[in-house]
Amino acid sequence: MEKTIKQLSPATIETFSSQLRGKIVMASDASYDLERKVYNAMIDKHPGMIVKCVDVADVIASVNFGRENSLLVAVRGGGHNGGGLGLCDDGLVIDLSGLKFVRVDVANKTVRVGGGNVWGEVDHATHPFGLAVPAGIISTTGVGGLTLGGGGGHLSRKYGLTIDNLLEADMVLADGTFVTVNAKQNTDLFWAIRGGGGNFGIVTSFKFQAHDVKTVFGGPTLWPIEKTEEIMEWYHDFLKNSADDLNGFIATLIIPGAPFPEHLHNKQFCAIIWCYTGDMDKAEEAFKPILAKDPLFQMVGEMPYPSIQTLFDGLLPPGMQWYWRADFFNELGPEIREQHLNFGSKIPTPLSQMHLYPISGAASRVGKEETPWAYRDAKYAGVIVGVDPEPANADKITTWCKNYWEALHPYSSGGAYSNFMMDEGQERVQASYKHNYDRLARIKKQYDPDNLFKVNQNIKPAN
Ligand SMILES: Cc1cc2nc3c(=O)[nH]c(=O)nc-3n(C[C@H](O)[C@H](O)[C@H](O)COP(=O)(O)OP(=O)(O)OC[C@H]3O[C@@H](n4cnc5c(N)ncnc54)[C@H](O)[C@@H]3O)c2cc1C
């Protein structure tokens, strides 16, 4: 059984504090309420202590302090996790937000990133060199959590998931040792962290392969929600027959307001958000069949890569209520399309939405056992999010999200992308890692036998 911070003596805390360059935030501090906030305002956890690490030595000291004092330990990267897995109640939060740096090796097209960076900082550093690392679609998401869970976004079809571009990581393990993991060194850990989440240690720096992406051609196309079934059927076939250069995720959503024209506001749509990374001279040609589907509205064009990466940041600032549900899907058959029309027509608040991210192209050409990310043969990673700024609407968005998910789940592939799940219990975690779960559990037993790192989509140490 874990101890709480309150059970520790002032002298124990004083000694720990003297080992740090970063600062400790306690419940009595004025900044406590600010520091314990995460992106999802539905999460209201009260840690006993937050350690704002500024270097690897702080991380090592914090891991040792947590383990030696039998504390519940949470690790916070960008703080975006839907289930609030960067926080815990009463225990120790190891906050990596001060562990930031981005170094671009232009000659080798690689990027070294701190364990606490967010993706917008990476895009900002790589863009002047015409380089990009495949990541998610919102720039404020943490590099740590997104990468360790997998990482899907606009470049997935062209260059694979974020983990497919991870070359190396530096880690602090549960016993406080510091290791470097890559394809030659600590290969079991290198395998495990490419999808297995924060279960195996704290990553203090990541090294990624970057790619030549300077400008992209993309943006949203919208059709009235009544056309959902027709557009989904067309989209599935169209993408299957398209080059990896073209990525597009399909959504049911409401247009909440500006920058979209007023006649679209507060109406439901079936939307596809495109990103083309091929030859810009051929972009208009590539979009001809899309525009031939006669979208009610389209805003596609050429833009710098960081622009598509920040396109939705303004709509989705931190501090709103978020309820998440997810599943993988192998197809978009008639029963599935019917449910998307049904629930897409009943979206309860302007920011609630459903996305289906394609797992095709380069992301699907990685073997099912090459990384823990088991669903390489699924066609879509689906996610439904109930979102609203108003806490009074929490029940409304939760109910819609759960009902939508329950209607679709029988047609799903079984598990979900771990980064799109909330705290949904052990069975769901196992279903999401499928055939790779047992190997993950064996590695967990070797490197974290007492499950120090358990505030995550937890892999229990093997018996
Ligand atoms: C608005 C929004 C958009 C999103 N879009 C995408 C998307 O396009 N593609 C996608 O793949 N995902 C997306 N996600 C999901 C995202 O990948 C997860 O929420 C992820 O957990 C966020 O990571 P974080 O570091 O910000 O979160 P945190 O809450 O800080 O951490 C999440 C988990 O990761 C662990 N962790 C974080 N950093 C480290 C580290 N350095 N070492 C060890 N463990 C660590 C934490 O302990 C925790 O268990 C999105 C999320 C949001 C809220």
Minimum-distance ligand 1 atom for the alpha carbon of 456: 49
Residues with CB under 6 A from ligand 1: 39, 75-82, 85-86, 96, 115, 136-138, 141-142, 144-146, 148-153, 197-198, 202-203, 316, 419, 455-456
**Regions of the chain with pLDDT less than 50:** none
d(CA 453, CA 168): 20
Please give the distance, rounded to the nearest whole angstrom, from the Cα atom of residue 318 to the centre of ligand 1: 14
Q: Give this prediction's pTM.
A: 0.98
The conformational region for residue 93 under phi > 0 = left, psi -120 to 50 = alpha, else beta, is: beta
The pLDDT tens digits of the residues spanning 213-259 come to 999 999 999 999 999 999 999 999 999 999 999 999 999 999 988 78
Tokens 């929600």 -> residue: 225
What is the sign of the dihedral through the CA atoms of 181, 183, 186 and 189?
positive
Minimum-distance ligand 1 atom for the alpha carbon of 201: 43
Q: What is the 3-state secondary structure (H, E, C) of 100-134?
A: CCEEEECCCCEEEEECCCEHHHHHHHHHHHCEECC
Task: Provide, rounded to the nearest whole percent, the portion of the chain with pLDDT above 70.
Answer: 100
The pLDDT tens digits of the residues spanning 127-141 come to 999 999 999 999 999
Pocket test for ligand 1, best of 73, 146, 165, 316 (most atoms within 8 A of CB): 146
What length does the chain have? 463
pLDDT, position 423: 86
Pairing of strands 301-304, 380-388: unpaired
Nearest CA to ligand 1 atom 9: 136
pLDDT, position 28: 96
